[in-house]
Amino acid sequence: MAGHSKWKQIKHYKAATDKKRGAMFTKVLREVTVAAKAGGGDPDGNARLRTAIENAKAQSCPKENIERAILKGTGELEGMDYSEVLYEAYGPGGVALMIQALTDNPTRTVAEVRFKLSKYGGNLGASNSVSFMFDRKGQIYVPANGRNEDSVMEQVLDAGAEDFVAEDGQFVITTAPSDLHAVKQALEKSGLVATEAELAWIPKNTVKVEGTAADSLIKLLEQIEDLDDVQKVDANFDIDISEISAG
């Protein structure tokens, strides 16, 4: 199985110039709020909330902001009522997109997503129009830090993971969605501390994109993820990262 998406690799490559910390805070805190609303405010009994808090901390989100987001989710503080929405779409080069959003106004969000798609050569699809091209999986990211790959593989499999791959100076560990949190905890007990964990849509196959189509696709993905309501985008493209500008 492939590791994490090419889009995540490209974002990592471009992070030095493109990272917008304030916008990232908004997205990770919104996930904290939704997780607390869905499963309660105790991270010990709410695996999704625990992961959301850990991801917020990994983004250097202030502790008080995280605590407020939890209280908004449990209703102890006033806050927006967010809905989880998944949009399926096509981008330039026939690339399939899975766009995850948390929104207080789905009508506004779908209009914004549709506008960005049409501007950069994509189009919104119907439900189930592209999701069959992806598998829903857990993904855990652990810094390689010079670790022996064979040794890590043994730890990963013992922890109950399905697969792992070494890329970009880290190990990307794949799990069944329901096993994400248990595997992450088992890895940490064995000394493999994750920098991030998430549920992702992993493409079964990829589409090679080059030239102007590749440029348009990257612009589209950046524009969609810049939308306040969009949490993340998964896609099934393959692009040579060496041809992508870091600026």
Residues 152, 33 share a domain: no
Give residues with Cβ within 8 angstroms of 239, minimum separation 6: 6, 10, 208, 209, 210, 214, 217, 218
Per-residue confidence (pLDDT) for residue 14, from 0 to 100:
58
Whether 1 is covered by a domain: the verdict is: no
Same domain, 128 and 211: yes
Q: How many domains does the chain have?
A: 3
Same-domain check for residues 109 and 215: yes
Query: pLDDT of 100-156, one tens digit each?
Result: 999 999 999 999 999 999 999 999 999 999 999 999 999 999 999 889 999 999 999
CATH of the domain at 99: 3.30.70.980
Same domain for 121 and 208, yes or no, is yes
Task: Give the tens place of pLDDT for each residue, 42-86.
Answer: 999 998 999 899 889 988 899 999 999 999 999 999 988 899 999
- pLDDT at residue number 240: 78
The tens digit of pLDDT for each residue in 232-245 reads 999 999 987 666 65
Kindly state whether residues 189 and 210 are assigned to the same domain: no
Which range marks the domain in which residue 147 is found?
Answer: 134-202
Helices 211-226 and 106-119, interaxial angle, to 10°? 160
In a domain, 195, yes or no: yes
25 vs 104, higher pLDDT? 104
Compute the distance between CA of residue 223 and CA of residue 220 in angstroms, rounded to an integer: 5
What pTM did the predictor assign? Answer: 0.85
Q: Are residues 189 and 140 in the same domain?
A: yes
Task: Determine, yes or no, domain membership for 7.
Answer: no
Q: Is 99 found in the same domain as 120?
A: yes
